[in-house]
A = this chain, B = another copy of it.
Amino acid sequence: MAVGAELHARGWSLATSSNYSVTLDRQPLRLLVTASGKHKDRLTEADFVTIDDQGRAVADGAPKSSAETMLHVVLARAADAGAVLHTHSVWGTLLSDRFASQQQLTISGYEMLKALPGVTTHETAITLPILPNTQDIGAMAQDLERLLATAGQKSEGSPPLSAFLIHKHGLYTWGADLDAARRQIEALEFLMECEGRRLMASV
């Protein structure tokens, strides 16, 4: 809940956008996900829903979970995520549009990259895939599964995939636990702000 308030204060989770999840159990899969349409600066326990591997609420009468719940399920299952954070920031949105035709954003050479999993030197390039936006979350979940499968194959030598962008929509990142995911979101938002301002300065 404190994480929601902080991300909101930074302007990364305005207007009830964004959603977060934590993996509670793996056998069977249980995720705690933010409910739909909540202001992120004042989350309470009642604003989280426990869901199963189909994205369905486990308890009767639970509030509707976030529309993008199935993306969290895919990340927990196929990327072994312990926690997932999704933000809508200005720089993430702008870069997802600027690099939309390349379908990916590459960031390299920054010390801050070391906050991401598997990165031990600034002499690293990470690539954030940019998925097209769609209101068909089932289709987007399939895109994501494909992405994770492909990334798994070619990841030898390079850091594992730990984040992606959705076009004019926002950023997803996941980690072993909430602390890791929070560290990654701060690092990625920082890096995107650097890249965004760098591109503006070099017009």
Q: Which residues of A contact B (CB under 8 A)?
A: 6, 10-11, 14-17, 39, 41, 88, 90, 93-94, 97-98, 109-112, 115, 120-122, 133, 135, 166, 168-170, 179, 182-184, 186-187, 189-190, 193-194, 196-203
Contacts and interface: CB of A to CB of B under 8 A. Distances in A.
Ordered nearest first, which 10 A-B pairs have the shortest CB separation? A111-B169, A15-B187, A15-B186, A14-B186, A15-B115, A200-B201, A121-B135, A15-B183, A110-B168, A14-B190
Given A111-B17, A168-B109, A201-B94, A11 B190 contact: yes
A90 B183 CA distance: 16
Contacts of A179: 39
B122 A168 contact: yes
A16 B115 contact: yes
A172 to B, nearest CB: 12
Nearest to A91: B197
Given A14-B186, A15-B186, 19 more contacts: A10-B11, A15-B115, A15-B184, A16-B115, A39-B183, A90-B197, A93-B194, A94-B197, A94-B198, A98-B201, A109-B168, A110-B169, A120-B135, A122-B135, A122-B169, A196-B197, A196-B201, A200-B200, A202-B203
A120 B135 CA distance: 8
A88 B191 CA distance: 11
Contacts of A16: 115, 183
A190 B97 contact: no
Contact of A190 (B90, B133, B166, B190): B90
A197 B200 CA distance: 9
Contacts of A202: 203
A93 B110 contact: yes
Contacts of A10: 11
